[in-house]
Structures are given as structure tokens and as C-alpha cells.
Copies of this chain bind each other. A is one copy, B any other.
């Protein structure tokens, strides 16, 4: 009933709403989906007609409950697929995003249930992102923060390394920046760079990248792990 394109808009709006709050502005949506602003406006009119977003002209949109449910379902599909590809088809966690981004729109309820079952209803995907429950309750806002936000000296655990292009993820994986990894914030250089360290050495990260890696403060019992980078 809903086109894949509409599903992509809803997913995009959901994520922008989480990150920047509502209402979500036209220009943000346009940028995130790589379309022009008029395209977004006309799509918002359609989504509004269908009751999936609430719109205030010239201000922006917010997902309705129904729109949010659709978005959460697509995200559940995406993250289950990523987990499935890694666990059952030997994909590397760095290369699952594109495949999941397509398939998320095309798998049936049945397929979703079967892979969830086969995976044992995992709580997070290979990037560390939480997988929404089958009930499609929007997951609680998370307590992680971008790596760039922690002050020098903090000990943190990487929670998520966001879906982005494969080369970047591979580089980060190679450098040991993976979900679950224990890091120390070593330095924040005024040229827009963060330096972190772990058992295997130091790593410099441009601010833009450090913004998209989310972490939480290391608990007393978080032992620096010795997880190794996957051999490829």
C-alpha cells in the first residue's frame, strides 16, 4: 500500500526527529534523502493526507503515531536483516547496510518473524543499534552520546557505529572502533579532531566522524575488552 519511497521518508523523518526533535524541517528531510525541497513538500502533503505526519506549513512535520509505527517497523526490518546477514550469511558488519536498506521494504511479516526467531530475538544489530520489538513500541530514547561530546579523560564504551558507507566502516573496524570497545578520550584538538585510545593504540577521528559514533560512560565493571578486529 505504502511505496518504498514513502517508507524511506517516514524512516528518515523518524531518525531526524530523534536527533533534532520535532518539527522536522523540509530542508533537513531534503538533505537527508538527497532530493529537492519541493519534492519533500509534495510528499509531505501526501503523507499528511494519509495521516502519517502532522504538518504545519512553513514550519515542518512530525510523525503521527501511525507514521511512527511504520517507521519503527522499517527500522526493525533493517536491523534484523543486518543481524541476519552477519550471523547467517557471513557478511561483515561493515557491508550489510546497503543490502538491508533495499530489502527492508520488501520482506513479509512472515520473513521478519522467521529471521527474528532464527536469530533468537536479538536486542541490537551488528552496529550496536537497538532493534525495535515486534510490538513496534518506539524504543526509549537512548542514553548514549556522540563520542565527540565526552571530555578528555573519560573512559567510554562504544555503543554504536552508525550505518554509513562501507569504506568508512571498514577503516573504523580495522582501527578497532567497534561496538563494545572500551576507549579513553585522550585529546580534543582545536583543528576538529578527537584522539581516543584502546589497548592496541591510539586513533584520531575527525569531529564529523566522532559525532556519529555513540558511546556511554564505562561502568566500573566494564573491563577493557580484548575483542579483535575481524580478520578479512
Contacts and interface: CB of A to CB of B under 8 A. Distances in A.
A211 interface: no
Contacts of A89: 111, 114-115, 118
A90 B117 CA distance: 11
Nearest to A90: B114
Q: Quick one: copies of this chain in the complex?
A: 2
A88 B111 CA distance: 11
Contacts of A103: 103, 106-107
A85 B88 CA distance: 13
Interface in A111-126: 111, 114-115, 118
Interface string A85-99: 100111100010011
Contacts of A106: 102-103, 105-106
Interface in A51-95: 85, 88-91, 95
A108 interface: yes
Contacts of A99: 107-108, 110-111
Given A99-B108, A103-B106, 9 more contacts: A88-B118, A89-B118, A91-B114, A99-B111, A102-B106, A102-B108, A103-B107, A105-B106, A106-B106
